[in-house]
Amino acid sequence: MEHAQVTDSTIDIKISVGAATDVGGRAQNEDSILLRPLDPVGIGPAAQAAGFLLAVADGMGGHAGGEIASRLATETLDEIFAGSTEPDIAATMKTAFRRANARIFAEGSGAEDATAMGTTMVACAIRGKYATIASVGDSRAYLVRASRLTQITQDHTVVAQQLAKGEVTPEQAKRSPARNQLMHALGHRERLHSSMPAIFELTLLPEDRLFLCSDGFYDVVEDGDVIDVVARQDPQDAARALTTLAKERQTTDNVSAIVLEAAPTRIIVAPTPAPVPSAGRSLLVPILAAIVLLAIIAAVLAFTVL
């Protein structure tokens, strides 16, 4: 597990992250995960705090194509962030996703079943308390805040679109055989759609948790189980426990989980400022002292003369 300390004017947050991936119910693991500490960038007020780069990619395609696609996606993301001094994290995310799309498409065009090779990717860059999340496909990012689980990303699937239009119920969507049909993925087309990746930005509060996962997880595990596990265990144990839970619930897919915790460490109480004397009072004291001194000198002189 990795840690980073974040300080602002009132509170310290300790960011901890943990990750796990498992072959689950398949012969090969076509998911790839990334968990990388980010060094601080720049100096002065525009400097960016230390943080983490996290990602889950869920590959697809025959003849090891899925494994290659998901690995190319996380490697490209890692490389782009490692070499970037760009202060706009969302811009860096877009560059990384587009580069990953081009690399996977180029790799897939040499294969016999070129159209099948692709991957989803949900990525999260944390800088201090700021999180930037980018997504293409149906791997998900969730926020756990105040004992509630909220899905941050939207699935780029046909079924998610039908659900948004009210054409299917959430239960029908969850059981639909077409629920994994993607509208967007990395590597399927030469150019990524101009609306991709979808970007979400949020400010972490103390006690927040972020959770990234592949569909092999959320197909079989209920929201309440996620809240219980991430609230009670440190991120690395929670990530392992959640992948184990998906296997116990008999996922037929690969399963990946990344958990981030923003734990409050201490409240910094600002010292009470000392009262500042007003200009009038500060002048009054020396003037009175001078008058008293002059009176004493005058009295001494008068006494001497007499």
Q: Residue 32 in 3-state DSSP?
A: strand
Choose between 92 and 119: whose C-beta lies nearer to Ca ion. 119
Residue 216 interacting with Ca ion (CB under 5 A): yes
Size of the site for Ca ion (CB under 5 A): 5
Q: CB-hemisphere CA count at 13 Å for 46? A: 6
Structure tokens at 25: 């119910």
The residue among 53, 60, 116 whose CA lies nearest residue 258 is 53
Residue 215 interacting with Ca ion (CB under 5 A): yes
Choose the stretch contacting Ca ion; rule: CB under 5 A; options: 156-164, 192-200, 211-219, 255-263: 211-219
Which long-range contacts (C-beta less than 8 Å, at least 24 apart) are formed by 103-111?
103/72, 103/76, 103/187, 104/68, 104/69, 104/72, 104/73, 104/186, 104/187, 105/187, 105/188, 105/189, 105/190, 107/68, 107/69, 107/72, 107/187, 108/61, 108/65, 108/69, 108/187, 111/61, 111/63, 111/65
Q: Is the peptide bond preceding residue 235 cis, with omega within 30 degrees of 0?
A: no
Q: How far is the CB of 219 from Ca ion (least distance, A)?
A: 8
Choose the stretch contacting Ca ion; rule: CB under 5 A; options: 80-88, 163-171, 209-217, 281-289: 209-217
Residue 155 interacting with Ca ion (CB under 5 A): no
Choose between 179 and 240: whose C-beta lies nearer to Ca ion. 179
Q: How far is the CB of 24 from Ca ion (least distance, A)?
A: 9
Residue 137 interacting with Ca ion (CB under 5 A): no
Choose the stretch contacting Ca ion; rule: CB under 5 A; options: 161-169, 182-190, 194-202, 214-222: 214-222
Identify the residue among 22, 58, 155, 208 touching Ca ion (CB under 5 A).
58
Q: Which segments of 86-147 are extended strands (E)? A: 118-119, 121-127, 130-136, 140-145
Choose the stretch contacting Ca ion; rule: CB under 5 A; options: 57-65, 102-110, 202-210, 287-295: 57-65
Check if the beta carbon of residue 197 is closer than 8 Å to that of residue 132.
no
CA atoms of 79 and 100, how far apart (whole Å): 10
Query: How many CB atoms are located within 10 Å of the residue 181 CB?
Result: 13
Q: Which of positions 223-282 make contact with Ca ion (CB under 5 A)?
A: 253
Choose between 56 and 204: whose C-beta lies nearer to Ca ion. 56
Choose between 58 and 208: whose C-beta lies nearer to Ca ion. 58
CA atoms of 125 and 31, how far apart (whole Å): 19
Choose between 159 and 204: whose C-beta lies nearer to Ca ion. 159
Q: How far is the CB of 122 from Ca ion (least distance, A)?
A: 12
**Contact map string, positions 11 to 50, toward Ca ion, x by CB under 5 A:** ----------------------------------------
Choose between 22 and 215: whose C-beta lies nearer to Ca ion. 215
Residue 138 interacting with Ca ion (CB under 5 A): no
Choose between 140 and 209: whose C-beta lies nearer to Ca ion. 140
Task: List all residues 6 or more positions away from 184 whose beta carbon is below 8 Å from its beta carbon.
Answer: 136, 137, 156, 192, 193, 196
The binding site for Ca ion (CB under 5 A) comprises: 58, 214-216, 253
